Amino acid sequence: MPIGVYGNKVPYGYARGQRNIIMFPAAAGVVFQNLSAKFVYVDGNNDVALVTDGLAHIFGWACVGEYTGEQAAGLDKIPVDISMKSQYWVPATNGTVEEAIRGDTCDIAVDGSDIVSADIGATLDDVLLIIDIDIINSAVLVKIAEGKQQAKAVS
């Protein structure tokens, strides 16, 4: 089912699927935008950070709205969904949202404003699996692709 437009904002985020939410320390100054996907990875300090272009693995989805973390790493703990069954509506970029992309895998794109989207025109990393599409809002329903979740010990 396509997502709706409320005011001029498309509500990107969790759509369906079994969730597994854990609390995890946030990286220093991490920023999440409302009109963005909120995929994260675990950085070298064992904190979750917003994904970047070219990542081969994703840890999960930050269950936050618009959010800016503390300036020191690890001071904030944020909820992160690490379920491989969870599906999310996210903006799509660098391609045409059309029926033919259902079932395809794609990369992640991050623009200069930290807006994260499904890069439906790129298949180098193939970290997202496209489940459904919303042509009107140029959005796709995705989940982390099999074998592309970052393995990390959770204490």
In the numeric block, which tokens belong to residue 91? 């903006």
Q: Is residue 124 part of a domain?
A: yes
Q: Does the predicted TM-score (pTM) go above 0.75?
A: yes
Range of the domain at 59: 13-144
User: With bands split at pLDDT 50, 70 and 90, how would you rate the model's confidence at 6?
Assistant: very low
What pLDDT is stored for residue 15 in this prediction? 94
Q: Is residue 51 part of a domain?
A: yes
Q: Is residue 39 part of a domain?
A: yes
Number of domains observed in the structure of the chain: 1
Q: Is residue 150 part of a domain?
A: no
